[in-house]
Every structure is written in structure tokens, then in C-alpha cells.
Chains A and B, each alone.
Chain A
């Protein structure tokens, strides 16, 4: 039996649909959307990467790292001896050189940017002949930012919250930090989807860029209100009263011991140079 294929009748098509359309959209309309998408994606991926940081058996616990980093930053800020800074620099370089290239790049990018900004701010001091303070402050900024970033890039977010609990940080503070990080990702996802939608729907030049972005921001705000209410209900249902309980890791790892040894060494050096 012969199959008959139904063909649309060409003559039945309305006249206006046959006309050639000469609409050429003006270019350059969605650069701002793309930029916003990239910025939001950058933040979200940063947080997500953080939670996927692998905890190797040799790395120190988050509490040790947190305290050690705070101590290092304090020493860097207080010391008046450039030689002590050299020791800290060598310590940071050694830790850095053992990390993955991508992470080294990210850490150094941030510290280099901060250090060069400081250098520019301190440039007048250099021109007036005060080389010492210009170089010391620039290197202190570099070392501090590197130390903090080294911790943040090698520790999971939940590791940091549990470390904060271990050092008896108020629950309120931990709660705010925890929720902030989680909601950056959730709201970020929401904003990202809205931006995609905006990009798909915008053709040609957008004459009200601020309006579009304000719409996205406003929707995100309303949504965040709803989420907050929902979260409160969820907290009630589960009986969460805002108190965090850290599951204490009983085991004292090799990494902990090694890090403690290094921080003790730094402390000894700091005291030695402070007494000089």
C-alpha cells in the first residue's frame, strides 16, 4: 500500500508570512548580561570548589589551621623586623610550592593585586625617601593575604565553621556565616537562571539595562524573603534552636602535629626577633 505524506499547501500560507523580513538587531546588547553571568558564576564556583576541597590525610585540621593563620597574621602585623618577615615568606613559599598550579595561581593573583595596590598607595612615602615603610607595609600586606588565602583555599567551609565552634565562637556568628555561604550559592543559582532567561529573551540593544538588572535583583530579594520564611519553618520542624554541636574529632593527625611544630617555630622566631 502506498503511503501518502501530507504536505502543507503552499498556497494556503498567508501573504504576510511570505514577505522577507529585513530586521537586523543592533549588536552589543547582551555584553552586560554575559558579564553579570560570569561574575555570578565565579562566586558560585568559588564556593562550590571550596566544599569539594579534598582533605588529604596529611593536612592539618581546620581548627589548627585557623588558629595558626590568625597567629601568623598577628605576628606579621606586630613585628618590626624585616628578617622575621623573610622567615614567614619562606614558610609561605614552601607551602605554596606544594599546592596545585591552579590554586597557586588563584592565591598569588589575589595577593599580588592587594600588594600592588598597597604599593601604589605607599608610593608617596617612597618618593619622600621612606623606602623602609613602603616596602615593609607592602610585604606585610602580601604575606597576610597569602596566609589567609592559603587557609581558605585548603579548608572546606564546613571545616571552618566547625573550627570556629571549637574555638568557642558564639553560635550566632557561626549561624550567620553558615547561612550566608549556603544562600550565596542558592540565590546565586536563582540569579543565574534569571540572567540566562534574560539573555535568551533579549534581542538587539537593551535600552534599559539598569531596569533589567534591577528586576533580577528585586526578584532575588523577594525570593530570598520567601526562602527565609521557609527555612524558619524547616528549622522549627527539625527542632534546631541555633545551637551548633561540633563533632569532635578525637584523632590527632600527623598533619596537626607538623603544623603545630611550624607554628611553634614561628612563635619562637617572633619572640626572638621581638627581643632583639
Chain B
């Protein structure tokens, strides 16, 4: 679901970033006021979980791959505003360091995965949870939220892809950016997410949520024990398991490189050309492109990238928490 650079026109990117700007502004304000200093590092761990979940690629029908995002999980654990910040930071890290998702398209990616996903997921979770009292009911609510969240996000991404050929093409009718219209992009994105990636998100979300509730209930419920150790252990285990994501060999839909796209088959025929906006477009040289390190097997590069990403996210949010002074535990006492 990470839209690379040059798949969306620069004007679309600007529009999406402009749409995200107020969301980020409100999120930062909300997080500043609502998340206590002691809970700040949790945002880092949450962002790290999201980052790691996005590394587990799952093969999807049609030869492409997909992944879970964990936005609903973060929404349930930290609230939707904090989830928005956490997923945005994880996405930014992926774009800057690992070349996953575009720099120009960051606004669009953040809109889909850091805004649409956690908010949809969280409100559906909240809607169902408030009407049930049992633990099972909470899990069902969470599962429904996660499933709807990721599918809405996929739908938005598909629409962003699909409007490109309608709006931007050259005199010969060839698309300048993403070449697939809505009739191709919407089913291509949504069906695999409805069938495979959605259930995967549900499983990830519920399993991790149950683990967190059991080992560190203070994360979810105010006034209970808050311990970071089990969360760190879980993150370490996930880091070591990330090479499983390499088992799915295909490229995700809409994430082909400029060398691949002209050969991509769609509706029985290859595209046959490289869209003009892509061949001469913006390109960013990431530090570890595609989570790989030269001279090492892919799995090592994957583990290294996962560890680096997790560590950086934890450091970032620890630094932010150290800047937040004086309000230690303010919200805990208020609750």
C-alpha cells in the first residue's frame, strides 16, 4: 500500500499533503495534551510495531504482495491521534531510510495509512466495544475495526491510483503517472485486501492486543501495571521473524520500479511502455534501499533494517518524552 514516487502526479501529492497538514497539527496538539510523559515511549514502541508489521509481506492472489499496518491496534492502545503520529513517523522513516513509499507521496501514504486507517478502525472498534461488556466482544470489535480500517485505506489508495490516468496523460493517450484507471486499480487493490491482507491485519491486531493486555495492562487501562519489558521482547521477536516477509516473492500492487512496470500484465496484456512521468521523475537514494545491505543475504538485510527502524523509532519518541517536562503522570492522576 506504500505508493512510490512518480505514481501520483506532483499536484496530487501536494493536495494529499495539504489534506494531511491539519490532521498532523491537531494530532500533535492532542498528543501533547493527552499523552503523559511516562506513556510517550509507548508511542515509539507502537510505531515500531507498525513498522515491523509492514515488513511482513503476505502473498496476495494475483501475484502481488501486501502487508498489515497495525493502525487500528495503535488506535486501540494509544488513541487515534497518537496512532496517526506513530504511523506517520514509521512511514517517514520507511520512505527516507528504506525507500519504501515515496518522499513526494508521503502525504498520500500518510493520508491512507495514518489517517483513514486508524480513524476508521478506531471508531468502528469504539462503536462495537461500547455496546458489549465481555472480553470477547472487545476482541470482535477490534477485529472488525482492523478489517474495515485496512480495507478503507486500500480503497483510498486505489482511488488515488485510479484517478491518475484520467487526469494526467500525454497527447498519445499514454498515462504520465500511474497507468491504471479506477476500473483496474480498485479491484486490484481491494479484492486482495478483502480476502487476505484484511484477515492478516485482524490476526496481527488481536494477537498483539491480547499479548499487551496480558503482559502490560497499563498500556490499555489507566492505573494498571505498565511494563515495557515484554513489549521490547515482543518487538525483538518480531525483528528476528521479519525475514518471513521475504517468502512472498512478488512486488506489491502499484509498487513496481520503473524497470518493471512496462512488463506488468494486466487484463491479459502487458502495459508496453513506461509512463513519461516515471522515467524522468524524482528519485530518492535511500540509505538501505529495499531493506537490503550489499554483500549480505536478503534475510540479514531485512533483520538489520527491522532492528534499525525499531531502534530509531524508540529513540525518537524517547527524545520527545524527555522534552516533555513537568507533566509526569498528570493524566494518570486526572483519570
| Interface residue ranges, A against B (CB under 8 Å) | 81, 83, 86-87, 89-90, 93-94, 96-97, 101-102, 104-105, 108, 272-273, 276
Contact = CB atoms under 8 A, between A and B. Distances in A.
A216 B325 CA distance: 36
B200 to A, nearest CB: 27
Contact of A105 (B41, B308, B310, B319): B319
Contacts of A94: 307, 311
Given A89-B308, A93-B312, A101 B296 contact: no
Contacts of A108: 315, 319
A105 B316 CA distance: 10
Given A83-B293, A86-B304, A97 B322 contact: no
B318 A90 contact: no
Contact of B318 (A81, A87, A104): A104
Contacts of B41: 101
B35 to A, nearest CB: 15
17 contacts: A83-B294, A83-B296, A86-B293, A87-B293, A89-B308, A90-B307, A90-B311, A93-B311, A96-B315, A97-B311, A97-B314, A104-B315, A104-B318, A104-B319, A104-B322, A105-B319, A276-B295
A102 B322 CA distance: 6
A87 B307 CA distance: 10
B304 A97 contact: no
Given A89-B308, A90-B308, A94-B307, A83 B314 contact: no
B322 A101 contact: yes
A87 B311 CA distance: 13
Contacts of B295: 81, 83, 272-273, 276
Interface of B is mostly: helix
Interface in B282-323: 287-288, 293-296, 304, 307-308, 310-312, 314-315, 318-319, 321-322
A58 to B, nearest CB: 12
Contacts of B293: 83, 86-87
A94 B315 CA distance: 9
Nearest to B292: A83
Nearest to A96: B315
A138 to B, nearest CB: 13
Task: Pick the 7 closest A-B CB pairs, nearest first.
Answer: A101-B322, A93-B311, A97-B311, A97-B314, A101-B318, A90-B308, A97-B315
Contacts of A276: 295
A96 B318 CA distance: 10
B229 to A, nearest CB: 11
B302 to A, nearest CB: 12
User: Counting chain B CB atoms within 10 Å of each CB, which of A93, A96, A101 scores highest?
Assistant: A101
B288 A93 contact: no
B331 to A, nearest CB: 18
A271 to B, nearest CB: 12
A92 to B, nearest CB: 9
A87 to B, nearest CB: 7
A105 B322 CA distance: 8
B191 to A, nearest CB: 37
A96 B314 CA distance: 9
B311 A96 contact: yes
A6 B288 CA distance: 86
Contacts of B287: 86
Contacts of A272: 295
Contacts of B311: 90, 93-94, 96-97
A101 B312 contact: no
A94 B288 CA distance: 17
Contacts of B314: 97
A89 B294 CA distance: 15
A224 to B, nearest CB: 37
